[in-house]
Amino acid sequence: MKVTHFAVIDLDQDGTPEVVLNCGARGIDYYTVVLRYQDGTVYGYTCVYRMFNQLKTDGTFSFSSSAAESGFGTASFTTAVFLTNMIAYSLSDTDSSGNMTISYFVNQASATEDEFNTAIQQQVAKTDVTWYDFTTANIESVLSGS
């Protein structure tokens, strides 16, 4: 595994940007590492595949744990934990007979499937963050602001 790409973005809107590293092998990104600076310390958070995708310039991102459980959210942090604040998401449940139901939520309120799909489409339409190849020249350029 190696770092393949990086982005710099203020995920938690606290005025200090985070560095987001995509890590992978053989052309496939398997996980993301978010580096966050707070009070003189750099904290690292590993996000497994499908936990942190489609990163947008406003800091929102998609997540998925299955076909029926997915959505978009924002990040917040403790010194130990990366937290996903869900904006639009779906959750599945299976009853004792094996029947699955899917519930939809937008802005922490129950929603119809159409309302959920509209919210997801709005998120997908947002501008993606700029990803840079992980090279010394790109690191120096991006972090120096040139």
3-state SS string for 84-144: EEEEEEEEEEECCCCCEEEEEEECCEEECHHHHHHHHHHHHHCCECCCEECCHHHHHHHHH
Strand partners, 22: 5, 32
| Euclidean distance between CA atoms 116 and 87, whole angstroms | 10
Mean pLDDT over residues 101-120, rounded?
96
**What does the pLDDT read at residue 30?**
82
Mean pLDDT over residues 128-133, rounded?
96
Q: What is the pTM of this model?
A: 0.89
Mean pLDDT over residues 119-138, rounded?
96
**What does the pLDDT read at residue 11?**
96
**What does the pLDDT read at residue 146?**
62
Half-sphere exposure of 126 toward its Cβ, with a 13 Å CA cutoff?
A: 19
Q: Place 70 in a pLDDT band, splitting at 50, 70 and 90.
A: very high
- The residue among 35 and 144 whose pLDDT is bigger is 35
